[in-house]
Amino acid sequence: MTAILRPAVVLFIVLSALTGLAYPLAVTGLAQLAFPAQANGSLVVHQGRVVGSALIGQAFADPGHFWSRPSATTPTPYDAAHSAGSNLGPTNPALVAAVQARVQALRAADPANTAPVPVDLVTASASGLDPHISRAAADYQAARVARVRGLPEARVRALVAQHAEAPLLGFVGEPRVNVLRLNLALDSER
């Protein structure tokens, strides 16, 4: 019996040490060396204080800020512990009602803006945590933000352009803007 049990226990201990300790330590060490900011959460520091992560969206409701893409996480928006899509199909009445309510809120916040509402301002991403909005969504909100803040619209649009990120490798995806970083830049304009 010990002839069978002893190799099984030794193998269990060796594999546990390799997969439970050595491998995670090696991956963590390599990540810290190669990508230290990302490995530590891509934290955004403003005036010496951590204000968020560049990889997780935040809720901005003030009309003087750019608004993020809606979050599908419940019960708290942008909660990484509950990351998931809403799983509502395009014909689901609940999704249709939510999108209509979001469009109405955007129209109410800026009645003079008659441009089509960009889809990413009224629908959540698959994770519900998207920290970016499209360049079109940022441009859609620029006039409202400028008016509420009392800034020239050209200045707000220049900040959007400064914070626009190009598509990955120049062609994967579309230009996007990190909402947290853009709003921090706006707050520095005061």
**pLDDT (tens place) for every residue of the chain, 190 residues total:** 788 899 999 999 999 999 999 999 999 999 999 999 888 889 999 988 999 999 998 989 999 999 999 988 878 888 888 887 777 888 999 889 999 999 999 999 999 999 999 999 999 888 888 899 999 999 999 999 999 999 999 999 999 999 999 998 888 888 999 999 999 999 988 6
The neighbouring-strand residues paired with 134 are 176
C-alpha 64/C-alpha 150 separation (Å) is 9
Cα 14 to the center of its chain, rounded Å: 40
Q: Does residue 178 contact residue 165 with C-beta atoms inside 8 Å?
A: yes
C-alpha 81/C-alpha 91 separation (Å) is 28
Sign of CA dihedral 111, 114, 115, 118: positive
| Whether the bond into 75 is cis, omega within 30 of 0 | yes
pTM value?
Answer: 0.82
Cα–Cα separations (whole angstroms), residue 132 to 22, 47, 53, 77, 160? 36, 22, 12, 15, 12
> Among 178, 85, 182, which residue's Cα sits nearest to residue 134?
178
Q: Domain map of the chain by residue range?
A: 1-40, 42-188
